[in-house]
Amino acid sequence: MNLEITKALKALLSEPQKIVIIPHKNPDGDAIGSTLGLWHYLRGIGQEAQIIVPNDFPKFLKWMPSSDQIINFEWDTTKAKALIKQATVIFTLDFNHLGRIGQLQPLLEEAQAKFVMIDHHQAPADYAEITYSDVSMSSTCEMVYNVIEGLEGTDHITPDLAISLYTGIMTDTGSFKYASTTSRTHKVVAQLIEKGAKNTKAHNKVYDTNTPSRLHLLGCALKNMVIMEDFATAYITLSQEELDTYQYKKGDTEGFVNYGLTLDGIVFAVIFIENKEEGIIKISFRSEGDFSVNEFARAHFNGGGHTNAAGGRSELPMAETVALFKSLLANYKDHLKA
């Protein structure tokens, strides 16, 4: 975090503000962890702050301290609207384009507040007064730690704050294994553990809370996996019917896409998940090495993200979506090698 951002944030927070903190739609561990981490910090220094999520977040994150204080826009629309209208500062976390917040987009476009963006995705939009964007960061949680440190606020890191940030770093780095995990990431994590983050608890609460139906859905997904050795690619499909058969609940398919990469010789893994209600196929892309799934998702599937992890969507039916995907691989043959 550079000096200019530190100075601007210091000035902003030297006055009492009415603060709203917003993560992206379908919030993940990093989105919830970073918003809660920042929320604990801002409350700790005496600021008025509220978190508003565009929609619900997975059950495996609901143990996080004070996560019950989070306002869900879909359930508490009137309250959320009022808070956004009155806000003097809006922090947007773990996304960098107002198209990522669903129904909140028009409200934020009209909001009078000063915007602060803290995010590690590529190609940030230009909507914030203060933009802290760094694609080299493991997670937004690591960036929130940098913010707190930059504001000389590490004494305000309580165990609740610490475990919030720890959890987001853990989930966004695939438990500290992705290429974005640096020595600095480990130093931050070490600090968080020293501040009281119960690291084993975070792992158990996030990863060891499977239901039988989720494991059965995983079994179905793995059975559906198609391996294309010539392109070092593996993809999975899950139809709405299959999701229904295994009583799909939000968050159940989290991490499924990564199984393709555990195969020897596979560098590109994809999952296509049908969503009948929205009339779309949701797609997650993962890669190992140099192949940029961010560029692939941007170019062909209305999405984007990071070099090794991205999302996208298709409005075509499943079979046509998969056919399109397969037809594209030949263009990337030189990059799709183990």
Task: Judge residue 281's burial from the number of C-beta atoms within 10 Å of its C-beta, 0-12 exposed, 13-18 middle, 19 or more buried.
Answer: buried
Please give the residues from 195 up to 234 whose contact with Mn ion meets the rule CB under 5 A: none
Residues 70-99 that bind Mn ion (CB under 5 A): 94
CB of residue 328 to Mn ion, shortest distance in Å = 26
Closest contact distance (angstroms) between CB of 171 and Mn ion is 8
Stretch that binds Mn ion, among 11-19, 168-176, 289-297, 304-312 (CB under 5 A): 168-176
Binding segment for Mn ion (CB under 5 A), chosen from 53-61, 164-172, 239-247, 267-275, is: 164-172
Q: Which is nearer to Mn ion, 172 or 274 (CB)?
A: 172
The token pair that represents 191 in the structure block: 């600090």
Q: Are 66 and 160 in contact (CB under 8 A)?
A: yes
- The reply on whether position 142 binds Mn ion by CB under 5 A is no
Residue 308 Cβ vs Mn ion, minimum distance, rounded to whole Å: 12
Task: Give pairs for 104-107: CB < 8 Å, separation 24+.
Answer: 104/22, 104/52, 104/54, 104/73, 104/80, 107/81
Query: Are 305 and 314 in contact, with CB atoms under 8 Å apart?
Result: no
Instruction: Give the CA distances from residue 191 to residues 41, 80, 161, 168, 202, in Å, rounded to whole numbers and listed in that order.
Output: 15, 34, 12, 15, 15
- Residues 7-46 touching Mn ion, rule: CB under 5 A, are 30
Q: Note the Cα 291 to chain centre separation in Å.
A: 20
Q: How far apart are CA 52 and CA 69, in angstroms?
A: 9
Question: By C-beta, is 125 or 227 nearer to Mn ion?
Answer: 125
Shortest Å, Cβ 144 to Mn ion = 11
The residue range among 137-145, 154-162, 194-202, 327-335 that interacts with Mn ion, by the rule CB under 5 A, is: 137-145
Provide the β-strand partners of residue 18: 48
Residue 119 interacting with Mn ion (CB under 5 A): no
Phi, psi of 21 (to 5 degrees): -115, 130
Please give the size of the binding site for Mn ion, defined by CB under 5 A.
5
Q: Between 171 and 190, how does the x/- string for binding to Mn ion read (CB under 5 A)? A: -x------------------
We find the least distance from the C-beta atom of residue 28 to Mn ion, in angstroms, to be 7
Minimum Å gap between C-beta 96 and Mn ion is 11
**188: number of Cβ within 10 Å:** 23
Residues that bind Mn ion (CB under 5 A): 30, 94, 139-140, 172
